[in-house]
Structure 1
Amino acid sequence: MAQPAQNRDVIFFGPFSLVASERLLMKDGTSVELGARTLDTLIALVSHPNEIVGKRELMAKVWPDVVVEEGSLRFHIAALRKALGDGKDGVRYISTLAGRGYCFVAPISRSNGQPDGIATAAAFKDSNLPTRSTRMVGRTDDVFTLTNLLRVSRFVTVVGPGGVGKTTVAVAVVHDLLDAFAGAVLFVDLGALSDAGLVASAVTSMLGLSVQSEDPTPSLIAYLRDKQLLLVLDSCEHLIDTVAAIAERIYLEAPQVHILATSREALRVEGEQVYRLMPLTFPPDDPGLTAADALTFPAIQLFVERAAASGVRLDLNDQDAAIVAGICRKLDGVALAIELTAARVATYGLQQTAALLDQRLALEWPGHRTAPPRQKTLHATLDWSYELLSDVECAVLRRLAVFVDHFTLQAAEAVATSARIDQGQVVGAIESLVSKSMVTADPVGSTMRYRLLDTTRAYVLEIEIDDIEVADVATRHATYYRKWLEQTVAGWSTLRNVTDRLPHLHDLNNARSALEWCFGINGNAELGVELASAAAPVFLAMSLLTECHRWSERAILALDDETRGGRMEMRLQAALGLSLMFTRGESEASCAALRRGLVIAEERGDILNQVQVLGLLHLLHTRGGEFKTALQYAKRNCALSVDSGDPVANALARSMLGASLQSTGDLGGARIELSAALKHGLDSQPTNIILLAFDHRTVAGVALAKTLWLQGHPAQALERARRTVRDAARLGHPVTLSIALNGAISVFLWTGDLQSADEHIDWFIAHAEAHSMAPYLIVARGLKGLLAIRRGDAKDGVENLQSCLQDLHVAGYRSFTTTFNISLAQGFAATGQFAEGVTLIDDTIKLIEANGDVLYIPEALRVKGNLLFGLQPSGSDAAETCLFQAVELSRRQGARAWELRASVDLARLLVARDRPKRARPLLQGILEQFTEGFDTADLIEAKRLLASLS
């Protein structure tokens, strides 16, 4: 085997040796054949180790007298990588930096013979290197990235909170690099040291050096200056200043030494590249999570693997997967916490382990007997970090524990600043806590937000502090979020979709926590009333109706003589009335609350809130089937909104008036008002109305879609219905989307688009269930029954509608009574129950006349005519009379859609009574009035019947 001569300049890397002067590359003493240009490429890169060589510079070195394309360089780089085995078994020699060039990243040494670094390595080969974990989960990408980063940068610190897995990952990286450093690796566990003065001594002693001076650092640097090795400094945080100084000197004065450090905070010295090791990923809080999906997340995989290691095999079903996902979320994906918790499953079972975790008992659960003392329990891990903090940092951290979710720097300043700790100290402490991995920093949108991991927060909350300080911090926390809520309401209308509103969800969690404290034992009920009043419009704007009801009701009970009858009660009563309406359908309680809110608004001369509450009263009476009363509220509201000068208030009032005019059969007037409401809504500025219960454009949109269909424009009606649903979905506002779906489904059913109706009903049901809107859920079930009748399944449809009508009556939600009664009567006809159908339709007509939704009288008369014809086919004068009345009344209303249906049924009856000559002009006349929608069900049927008459 050939050996390089002693007087030659030899460059060593991995198993290779390169003699550039002789253009000779050898691997383990055997010559490696390379093309001339490929060898030139290697020499150019190795001549500048750990430096980026630009593509143009490299091409100039390899082809000094020739102009070549970049593809030629890529060809030779590929050939070189193949010859070196680059990328095999994790070994890397050449790194590509996109758009910049290439870099030779493997450690090299130079000598006239064998490199000193390799010779020295024999004295401490793999010294003190822990065994690589065979059960590392979810860290493959981290290890790969760190391995390459360390090759290029030489000095990397892995930073992360205690228990996240820094040492485990670092050990894996070192094992991947053993061959590249020919085993010259020194692993120094600084966690066992308590005296900073012993850091340099610990390293020199492990190198086998004998140093007599008090400061061994100069001797250490002198020894390492020409050595090639990988130095691992594990657990630096408690000796951070000393370790930082030594590591910086080694980096600057020993150019072939690579340093890998692990610490809960960065060393912050020259040359250091910080790699933040994130917790293991875990599933989002999704009720539809399946076991198969859950097992794709590393945190779940680790939990299952560690539970199995403790003797429990978890064959996850979907229910168990949800529990494990909840545990991993609570533990924030911290590997040590997951391991310790998973080991408890053998003792307590899965569900009880989750319950105990909620009681914060996990902090004391023991881990491996052989683990370092600081990692035997979560409590010990956190003790280790907490004891490294200054007094100010400890105090600020205790105050930050009041936050239950992400918080902004402004929130932290408001809560943590006091007479003893000023704002500047708070900001400095937060920066330090982030650097020490006690507080996490995450960008949310354009704002940096902070959070304590749940395990850290649980630990901090166990630290005893004075009751006075607890109350003081909680008061500042609640006061800050009261102000935040008021500012949020003022700008809410500028947040157009879910993405815009997402950052506010974290703040809302803190507002909830503040409400819990205010109305709890030793809380501050007076501040709670202010907070609940500020929270109510935000809860409504986000359709958090159950929470709105809970806190509004609680705050109203806590009102005193000074606050009763004021602005806060006005807001709370309106919020209570609206939330009751949508969640429980309690019309009497809802009406009482809304009327109380209206009285206060009138007494205060608050026009905008009068407009809003009048709109809610209109909605309440519409839902209750009291259309005449609703129309009066709409007219009153429209007049008042003009005085408000607010364009959104005016648009809201006009949308309400348009919906009421539609119910009374004034379709022309309805279309004018609804079109105006939509037009004003396009360019309107943010309103000052505080209770944003729903988007008025959606109310106007679905009402206009219905009006268009009734007037004989089915294609426009479908387009408007679909557009309204799309717009409502983009808003991310559950109540608004419910209104859109409700109205659009009616249009789909009317036009005969039963497939779209079915799909949207399913969407409606899922949506109502997810947001606890019980009345809407009943309506959706009724629409299912109506659809069943349209599809010919009359028996199930009848049973469904009868059940839903009873439930809606109990809930006080009677706006669908007429529609469902008419459909139920049609179901009776389909099942041969003509007498029952006639009785029901007569009662329905009386109810229409009493309540005022006269729009439906033509349709009710048409259905009655068909029932009478089915009951007595031979004596059908009464049936014919009903159908003629339906046609005439439809014409007076301008409801071409009703007229078309009545004309088709009347034509059939005339044919059955041997008068087809009267049927043809009847159908011909109504069909000529339509200019669109000829592919919809009613028009298809009418054309088919007309053709048969020809």
Structure 2
Amino acid sequence: MTEASAGHSSPSNGAGASLDLDSVSFGPFSLRSRLLEKDGAPVKLGSRATDILRLLVSRAGEVVPKNEIISYAWSGLAVEEISLRVHVAELRKVLGDGKGGARYITNIPSRGYCFVAPVQRGERDVAPAPVPRSPERAAPSPSLPHRLDRMIGRDDVLPELSARLLSDRFVTLRGPGGIGKTTVATALAHDMWQTFEGHVHFLEFGPLKDAALVASTVAATLGLVVHHDDPSGSIINFLRERRLLLILDSCEHVIDEVARLAENIYREAPGIAILATSRESLLVEGEQIFELVPLPGPPQGVRLSAGEVLDYPAARLFLDRAAAAGHRGDITDDDAEVLAEICGKLDGIALAIELAAVRVGVYGLREIAALLDSRLKLEWRGRRTAPPRQQTLGATLDWSYGLIGESERIVFQHLAVFAGPFTLKGAIAVAAEEGAPGEGVVDALEQLVAKSLVSAQPDGASRRYRLLDATRAYARHKLADGGEADAIARRHALYVQRTLEAGMAEQGGGDQVFSLQERASLLADARAALEWSYANDDGVALRVPLAGSAARLFVELNLLNEARIWSGRALAMLDDANRGGRWELELQSTLGHAFMFTERNSAQAEAALRRGLEIAEALGDHANAFRLLSRLNMFYRRTGDYRHLVPTALHAERIARLIGDTAGIAGSKALVGVSYHLAGDQVEAQAHLDEGVRDDAALRGTQPGHFAYSRTPQIPLARVLWLRGFPDRALDCVRPLVGAAAPRDVVMHCIALCWSSSVFGWVGDWAAVETMTERLATHASVHGLAPYQAVATGFRAQTMIARGEAAGGVDLLRSALPRLHADRYELYVSAFAADLSQGLAALGRLTEGLQVLRETIGRVEQAGGAFDMPELLRRRGDLEARAGDLDAAEASLAASLALAEQQGALSWRLRTEMSLAALRRQQGIQDPFDGLTATYARFAEGFETADLKAARLMLNQASA
């Protein structure tokens, strides 16, 4: 319940009670006994109105029941409530209530009245200035819906709703369709933009037809990767430590899913405020109901002046919308009664008022009143067995529909197929008759906007249009009755497909951010078109091209689970015309990418990517071939199948040179460099990555549509530089990442965090490793990227073992390694296995440690070797020496030394020389430090990093 319907007032003062009002002031007014003054000048006020004012001021901030006010002002008399309304209207007019932002008396429907202005008791030396308007606010994000320039009749709702939201955290704005819930919610979003420091997210569920997509829609709005059926856990993890306002608009048709998610957010994320708008309650824990009541209208049967009638919001809204539609006539006292009658018949429903008001210029007030009697039947019985929209606005829309011309009716029906906002181009494509010019649609759309059947809002230099939910449902019903539903749905699906296809062709040039926003605005319509085409025989021919053109959009918006589902469905029904063509190419590429992140690194992912590459090469589609080779390269990196890395990367480089794009060539250099690095050729890796860095400006300028997007060479170059013997330069590459904000590409950010953590670990900066690991764990948890969560666990264990907490580190690795194996995510397994062996040895379990290393080395050799094989061999040699098998230890260390030199990995060589020097000293060999001395001398930097400090200490001890 709202305060208005459930608050508690103070005990009644009783009829004729004496009020303690020697002197009070509010705004520019002073009230002494029964004398009202404004800025020191007396104000004429009737005795009844004065009594009402005295009572309300004495109880300022409280809701005073109507019967109590009547008992006080008309003591001993039987008076109708209408008399109270008339005198309150007089009082508001005298006070200038609502002018210049000033608010004094607010009506609480079904309860009473409340004096809301601040009251100061006692004399004052200087009359205060009038209540100021709200200060100018910083411009809210364009992601919020457009706010009406004037919102009439809800001025007292916004402050109360804001206060309730801040105190209760979870409020449902409830009311019938058309009453203005979305309008109020939009205004609240703009008003509270600064309160929540810009963290306001507005989700419109009206276009959403599948309730199962509620959570993924919320996740996508928050910028999370959606790659499984239920991302609710990721949403909760993301919101748990944040403070923001989440507005869930038009929830009634997906109410069960919204209710469950909203309740979980309320329970688990204490910093989140939730405002839901719905025609029914969510009925979950924490929900507080704020009933949005009809706009107050003038009393019936009482003769009021024009000014008095316009004190009521319903009348003001009617005239405001009539004027906006072109009506320029003034309201006279003779018109006031008719206007009051109209407002009474419209029951204070904002949409009904607007639909009637736009016709005033055509018919006049008295004719509108008559039409309402004969053509408009509004029912508010609220039967659950009837569709809610028909309970409230069906008759209103019947009447409005009856007032528009036949051509406007046709366009109105056709536009109902849009699931979200649409452009003028979209309206023409869907609503124009085949072969007919678009001018007729333009004219009809203009009339529909003027008649409030279609709303328009600015969108940069152009405008977007939409039908309100109730209006769309009504128009769809008319469309179905006319037998055109499938034909128009097919036309809509074709428009969506062609628009998305054109957006794909434009990728790689122009304003890609704007282009992505344009494509993203089609998400609701793409979903609707896909659902229709796969459910209706008329859509058979569109199924494959529609899924193919929507596939890239799903990937761009991180809706990977939807990308996988629709790509799989389309591929299952490929015919000969599409097999081996551009749509199979797009679908296979998308399916492989989505499988990689939603179904682990499965064989299905590799098969889809390889099939896509085969088609791209057959078609001569170089950009897609590069993209597919990049994805295959990532697949082999993740699975640890390093033998395929360099061939796929060199193939991509050849294609980039054929394309001749500077950023693409830079991206290919990064790809080749990473591949050589992981395969164990650090000299070639550095050469290619250095070239990539030289063209880094071009690479950083790429947008999501570019075939070489997100190939940044600095982070892998840091690893190569450390291995090559340049620790300081390596740190220069990764330090900027420590405080950097997460980019849009969440997967690439995880990779950057992992690789920079490894560099910090190699130089011995475990505090930095700990920091990066926490960021990785949080980021992966928020986006539901389970493999990266396991990697974060591995880095945490590595840090513990390095700090001497071997038991805890071993336990963590025992949990992380099986998870990585299960996901076929082998990239970090060898390093973590080496840490596990070191931890086991520290616990005195040498045999286990050696067994772990031998198994790991065997797997790496089978996969074609790797960059860290010298380190694995060194670790094995160290444990063999500790176990007393000095010959085996010497053989392992010699193999490590030779491989490190072959790879150009001076830092691995330094570590092995230290291990070898210790072994030779253990063997009693003279001059055991010759190799270490020579290797140490090859370094020109990094002398304050862990390995070089350890080597210097060993050499100094030898000299002593």
Instruction: Please indicate, yes or no, whether the TM-score normalized by the shorter chain is above 0.5.
Output: yes
Amino acid in the other structure paired with 1:506: S
CA distance in 1, matches of 2:890, 2:636: 35
CA distance in 1, matches of 2:244, 2:393: 28
- In structure 2, the residue matched to 1:488 is 503
CA contact (8 A) 2:245 2:272 kept: no
The verdict on how the C-alpha distance between 1:485 and 1:933 changes in structure 2, with shifts beyond 3 A counting, is farther
1:933 and 2:918 correspond: no
Q: Which of 905, 912, 920 is the matching residue for 1:902?
A: 912
- In structure 2, the residue matched to 1:705 is 718
1:629 and 2:644 correspond: yes
The verdict on how the C-alpha distance between 1:294 and 1:709 changes in structure 2, with shifts beyond 3 A counting, is closer
Offset at 1:26? 6.0
CA distance in 2, matches of 1:933, 1:486: 52
Offset at 1:674? 1.9
The verdict on how the C-alpha distance between 1:748 and 1:943 changes in structure 2, with shifts beyond 3 A counting, is same
Offset at 1:559? 1.1
- In structure 2, the residue matched to 1:341 is 280
Offset at 1:417? 2.5
Structure 2 unmatched ranges of 5 or more: 1-26, 31-38, 45-59, 62-85, 98-104, 119-128, 135-144, 159-177, 190-199, 203-217, 223-234, 253-261, 291-344, 350-376, 383-388
Measured against aligned partners, the alpha-carbon deviations of 1:259-310 in whole angstroms (never above 9, x if no partner) come to xxx999xxxxxxxxxx99954438544535879989978999x99xxxxxxx
The verdict on how the C-alpha distance between 1:552 and 1:298 changes in structure 2, with shifts beyond 3 A counting, is closer
Higher relative contact order (CA 8 A, sep 6+): 2
CA contact (8 A) 2:413 2:479 kept: no
User: Matched residue of 2:417: which SS?
Assistant: coil
The verdict on how the C-alpha distance between 1:797 and 1:437 changes in structure 2, with shifts beyond 3 A counting, is farther
Q: Which of 590, 593, 597 is the matching residue for 1:578?
A: 593
CA contact (8 A) 1:861 1:883 kept: yes
Measured against aligned partners, the alpha-carbon deviations of 1:603-661 in whole angstroms (never above 9, x if no partner) come to 33434433333333333233222212333333344344434434444444333322222
Amino acid in the other structure paired with 2:727: P
- In structure 1, the residue matched to 2:842 is 830
CA distance in 2, matches of 1:292, 1:598: 43
- In structure 2, the residue matched to 1:241 is none
1:808 and 2:823 correspond: no
- In structure 2, the residue matched to 1:889 is 899
User: Matched residue of 1:853: which SS?
Assistant: coil
Q: Which of 718, 732, 749 is the matching residue for 2:731?
A: 718
Offset at 1:416? 2.5
- In structure 1, the residue matched to 2:486 is 471
- In structure 2, the residue matched to 1:27 is 41
Offset at 1:122? 9.9
Offset at 1:548? 1.9
State the TM-score, normalized to the length of structure 2: 0.61
The verdict on how the C-alpha distance between 1:400 and 1:622 changes in structure 2, with shifts beyond 3 A counting, is same
1:795 and 2:804 correspond: no
- In structure 2, the residue matched to 1:843 is 855
CA distance in 2, matches of 1:912, 1:148: 86
Coordinate RMSD, CA, aligned: 5.2
Structure 1 unmatched ranges of 5 or more: 1-12, 17-24, 31-88, 91-120, 151-159, 174-236, 238-261, 265-274, 304-314, 354-367
- In structure 2, the residue matched to 1:564 is 579
Measured against aligned partners, the alpha-carbon deviations of 1:302-361 in whole angstroms (never above 9, x if no partner) come to 99xxxxxxxxxxx988436999999955xxx5xxxx5x534x849x997999xxxxxxxx
The 5 A counterparts of 1:86-97 are none
User: Matched residue of 1:448: which SS?
Assistant: strand
- In structure 2, the residue matched to 1:169 is 154
- In structure 2, the residue matched to 1:782 is 794
Identity of aligned residues (%): 30
Offset at 1:555? 0.9
CA distance in 1, matches of 2:475, 2:956: 82
- In structure 2, the residue matched to 1:552 is 567
The verdict on how the C-alpha distance between 1:124 and 1:783 changes in structure 2, with shifts beyond 3 A counting, is closer
User: Matched residue of 2:554: which SS?
Assistant: helix
Measured against aligned partners, the alpha-carbon deviations of 1:565-597 in whole angstroms (never above 9, x if no partner) come to 212112212221222123223432122222222
CA contact (8 A) 1:715 1:932 kept: yes
Offset at 1:434? 4.4
Amino acid in the other structure paired with 2:657: V
User: Matched residue of 2:463: which SS?
Assistant: strand
- In structure 1, the residue matched to 2:11 is none
CA contact (8 A) 2:246 2:274 kept: no
Measured against aligned partners, the alpha-carbon deviations of 1:846-893 in whole angstroms (never above 9, x if no partner) come to 333332234222101210122112222xx6454345335434432333
Measured against aligned partners, the alpha-carbon deviations of 1:173-232 in whole angstroms (never above 9, x if no partner) come to 9xxxxxxxxxxxxxxxxxxxxxxxxxxxxxxxxxxxxxxxxxxxxxxxxxxxxxxxxxxx
CA distance in 1, matches of 2:704, 2:133: 55
- In structure 1, the residue matched to 2:709 is 695
The verdict on how the C-alpha distance between 1:374 and 1:132 changes in structure 2, with shifts beyond 3 A counting, is farther
Amino acid in the other structure paired with 2:938: Q
1:859 and 2:871 correspond: yes
Offset at 1:458? 4.7
The verdict on how the C-alpha distance between 1:792 and 1:431 changes in structure 2, with shifts beyond 3 A counting, is farther
The verdict on how the C-alpha distance between 1:751 and 1:392 changes in structure 2, with shifts beyond 3 A counting, is farther
- In structure 1, the residue matched to 2:13 is none
User: Matched residue of 2:106: which SS?
Assistant: coil
CA distance in 2, matches of 1:685, 1:744: 19
- In structure 2, the residue matched to 1:60 is none
Measured against aligned partners, the alpha-carbon deviations of 1:828-854 in whole angstroms (never above 9, x if no partner) come to 222222112222222333333332234
- In structure 1, the residue matched to 2:230 is none
The verdict on how the C-alpha distance between 1:555 and 1:128 changes in structure 2, with shifts beyond 3 A counting, is same
CA distance in 2, matches of 1:291, 1:900: 45
The 5 A counterparts of 1:748-767 are 748-767=760-779
CA distance in 2, matches of 1:291, 1:898: 42
Measured against aligned partners, the alpha-carbon deviations of 1:650-696 in whole angstroms (never above 9, x if no partner) come to 4443333222222332211111122223434533799999885x735
Offset at 1:514? 1.8
- In structure 2, the residue matched to 1:533 is 548
Amino acid in the other structure paired with 2:41: K
State the TM-score, normalized to the length of structure 1: 0.62
CA distance in 2, matches of 1:840, 1:885: 19
The verdict on how the C-alpha distance between 1:500 and 1:678 changes in structure 2, with shifts beyond 3 A counting, is farther
Amino acid in the other structure paired with 2:910: L
- In structure 2, the residue matched to 1:132 is 106
User: Matched residue of 2:831: which SS?
Assistant: helix
CA distance in 1, matches of 2:508, 2:651: 25
The verdict on how the C-alpha distance between 1:934 and 1:540 changes in structure 2, with shifts beyond 3 A counting, is farther
CA contact (8 A) 1:652 1:677 kept: yes
